[in-house]
Chains A and B, each alone.
Chain A
Amino acid sequence: MANRIPRGRGFLERTTASFVDALEHTFYAEETAGADGLLQRIHPRVKLLGILALIVPAAAARSFKVIGSLFILAVLLAALSQVSFGVLLKRVWIAVLLFTGVIAFPAPFVTEGRVIGRLPWLGWTFTSQGLVSAGYLVLRVETATTLCVLLVLTTPWINVLKALRVLRVPVVMVTILGMTYRYVFLMLETAHDMFESRRSRMVGELTGSERRRVAAASAGVLMSKTFDLSSDVYLAMQSRGFRGEVYLLDESRMQRFDWIILAGFTLVSATAFWWGR
């Protein structure tokens, strides 16, 4: 989408651009999920269980080699699944590094142990144990997030939700999440149209109080539309026999290939556990 608007151009422009960005992210995810890659060919249930099986040893291992190997495996899976490294770098690796980095930053300075250096000017000392702790945290989060993002980027969201049934997530929860996913786009488009129509009739910048008024009014209108829509959706469900219970029909079936992949994930997970004890 071409109407990305630079920061600092005004409240309405930025809000509209953020709606477009949100839609763009989703379209990218759906496009990747439809690509012909390794992970895309695997049954969602196997993928969910397999990714979980890799995340657990990554979180539990006490060895950089193990966590690093799992991270490399995640990168390899991304390459085989046509997931762009640029997207992973921008949306996952740098974002996680910044976020986790803030949390891990104090660790080298407050963890007791062998002092290996001193910060210039500030004079704070840092320890090797502290650096290792911070390194573990960052690498574990990077690995786990990369694996999670791979699951989401290579699987249509509704299939991820249906796969949650294997973890005994109730049908009603899966259905509500599915409906939320479906209507979030409708509301996003409605909000986008509302802001676009306001923007098309405006000249100049809004003051702070005007921005707040526009935001409050738009939120109110959107909420009212949401209420109307939800009551109509409920009627539509009732008209097709909804009586408080929801049922799912999962079309997909696991193939021999999926069982082999599941066995592979289990083997890798068990090895990582044993190696990273």
Chain B
Amino acid sequence: MNSTNPSNAKQTPVYEVCDVTYRYRQVTALDHLYLTVGAGRRVALLGANGSGKSTLLRILNGLSFPDKGMVNFCGEPLTEEKLQDDGFGLDFHCRVGLVFQNPDVQLFSATVFDEVAFGPLQLRWPHAKIRQSISEILEMMEIAHLKERSPHHLSMGEKKRVALASVLVLDPEILLLDEPTAALDPKSESHIIDFLVQSKGRGKTIVTTTHDLGILEDIADDTFVFQGGRIVAGGPPSEILSNVALLKETSLLHSHLHIHKSGEVHTHPHLHQHKE
């Protein structure tokens, strides 16, 4: 499956995932997976829970390594040995940022300021530059007032924004977002979506996992549908969203019982539709 923009066809893809298999003991999370992510593309990985999306993000971030197959990053194999090298490892983590699904995992520092400072400090940025960058990113994410707060005092929406800020402060070329809008209230959700929409045209490559069909067309140029650790379909969001049979088969379509005014009770699927 390929997400390379036709206009950048000759450019080396950011990621090439070739025949990757990954297992958690007896459970196969990724099963002979192929995927190419082109530079500057916004890619959505769509799939039900347990379909392997988060595992793939961890592999793309160099936190896990495939049992079989290989991943190329900007044309070079992404291996454990390579990432152990300080020069390559630090450069890679500066260029690729991962925002975890559970912000409590990511917010391990005692205050929001320390959290956002963690990455730049690891990359040995000068302290003046760190202060400047933190100040800018906190303003941009509208969380400057939370600077001295402890993460356990924040709401889920605030935690997600801090988690995003802690990665964005490094200004990565590639952003990997694991379910960025999961478990958010509508206001916090729209804040994250606004960021993803605004990031279009800034040249960043963004890979987002989600099972929220409603936001797909806003946050992605290309969509890949996951099922059982494999990609079963790929294409522009509009094409995927119009394939109701595929969405039903991959458990992505929301449907539940309805009681109509006439008293009739039946089930039908829901799909967010954009009006032109």
B82-97 vs A, CB cutoff 8 Å, 1 = contact: the mask equals 0000100110011001
B102-116 vs A, CB cutoff 8 Å, 1 = contact: the mask equals 101111111101100
* Count of residues in B whose CB is under 8 Å from the partner chain: 40
Q: Which of A200-251 contact B (CB under 8 A)?
A: 229, 232-233, 235-243, 245, 247-249, 251
Q: A135 contacts the other chain (Cβ, under 8 Å)?
A: no
Give which listed residue, A189, A233, A243, contacts B108 with CB less than 8 A: A233
Q: B123 contacts the other chain (Cβ, under 8 Å)?
A: yes
Q: Check if B63 sits within 8 Å of A229, measured CB to CB.
A: no
Q: Check if A232 sits within 8 Å of B105, measured CB to CB.
A: yes
Q: Check if A186 sits within 8 Å of B122, measured CB to CB.
A: no
| A239 → chain B closest CB, angstroms | 5
SS of B interface (majority)? helix
Q: Check if B122 sits within 8 Å of A182, measured CB to CB.
A: no
Q: A158 contacts the other chain (Cβ, under 8 Å)?
A: yes
Q: B272 contacts the other chain (Cβ, under 8 Å)?
A: no
B-side contacts of A158, CB under 8 Å: 110-111, 114, 150
A157 to B109, CA, bound (A): 12
Closest to A181 in B: B110
Closest to A178 in B: B110
Q: Check if B114 sits within 8 Å of A240, measured CB to CB.
A: no
SS of A interface (majority)? helix
Q: Check if B117 sits within 8 Å of A182, measured CB to CB.
A: no
Residues of B within 8 A of A (CB): 58, 61-63, 86, 89-90, 93-94, 97-98, 100, 102, 104-111, 113-114, 117-119, 121-124, 127, 130-131, 148, 150-152, 166-167, 170
Q: List 14 extra interface pairs beyond A182-B108, A182-B151, A241-B93, CB under 8 A.
A: A182-B150, A189-B152, A229-B104, A229-B105, A233-B108, A235-B58, A239-B93, A240-B93, A241-B89, A241-B123, A242-B122, A249-B114, A249-B117, A249-B130
Closest 5 CB pairs of A and B: A241-B122, A158-B110, A240-B119, A178-B110, A247-B121
Residues of A within 8 A of B (CB): 30, 156-158, 161, 178-179, 181-183, 185-186, 189, 229, 232-233, 235-243, 245, 247-249, 251
